[in-house]
Chain A
Amino acid sequence: KAGVTQTPRYLIKTRGQQVTLSCSPISGHRSVSWYQQTPGQGLQFLFEYFSETQRNKGNFPGRFSGRQFSNSRSEMNVSTLELGDSALYLCASSRRDRGTDTQYFGPGTRLTVL
């Protein structure tokens, strides 16, 4: 079974621009979560989608948004990029199994903001 895929793998943007990252979950997984990983803050939860609805959101400004499509693929968007948005953005997909979800991660998109 194919794993979680993320595109693009690398991005370089300048301050003020916006960016869209894409995630395709494992087949059959309807939940998609996004995490930001930075050296200073570690892994932080951004948001989670299930059946095209955002079910949970982390403590990030409104510049960070996402959506999920009917085929469970998800995108996240960051508008008005800041230098501090440089990070590895990880997407994870999951489905409920024996009481909770086990999240399986993609390879990530490394975003550099100049």
Chain B
Amino acid sequence: AQKVTQAQTEISVVEKEDVTLDCVYETRDTTYYLFWYKQPPSGELVFLIRRNSFDEQNEISGRYSWNFQKSTSSFNFTITASQVVDSAVYFCALSENPNSGYSTLTFGKGTMLLVSP
């Protein structure tokens, strides 16, 4: 069975601190996709990034960066110089059966990030 674990339930930081959100996944598929979503208090899940299992290259987008390591089944997310607007719940997700014609997301429990001024 596919599983996503986000061990950090809640993280509190002060503005401008760097913060890393951990994500560990389990799958028996050789082809799979990993995602990060952000859920602000408004409730809408906002797509941040997608990675496939064949691409372990790390990615940086502005203050956001992602570290994908197949050897440890991890897909961690770092926010550099955090801002109050980064406060939200962040979800890591795994896509099942990408070759079946449909994709279903298995989500972790989420990490609530609170950035205080």
Q: Considering the chains assembled together, what is the distance between the CA atoms of A42 and B35 in angstroms?
A: 16
Main secondary structure of the interface of A (DSSP, over half): strand
The answer to whether A42 and B110 touch (CB under 8 A), given A48-B102, A102-B47, is yes
List the count of A-B residue pairs having beta carbons below 8 Å apart.
Answer: 61
A92 to B98, CA, bound (A): 17
Count of A interface residues, CB-CB < 8 Å: 27
Q: Which 7 A-B pairs have the closest CB atoms?
A: A105-B45, A43-B107, A101-B103, A100-B98, A107-B44, A55-B102, A108-B43
Please name 30 pairs of A and B residues whose Cβ atoms are closer than 8 Å in the assembled complex, sorted by A. Answer: A33-B104, A35-B105, A42-B107, A42-B109, A45-B104, A45-B105, A45-B106, A48-B102, A50-B101, A56-B104, A88-B43, A90-B45, A92-B45, A94-B103, A100-B33, A101-B102, A101-B103, A102-B35, A102-B47, A102-B50, A103-B103, A104-B47, A105-B44, A105-B45, A105-B47, A106-B44, A107-B42, A108-B43, A108-B44, A110-B43
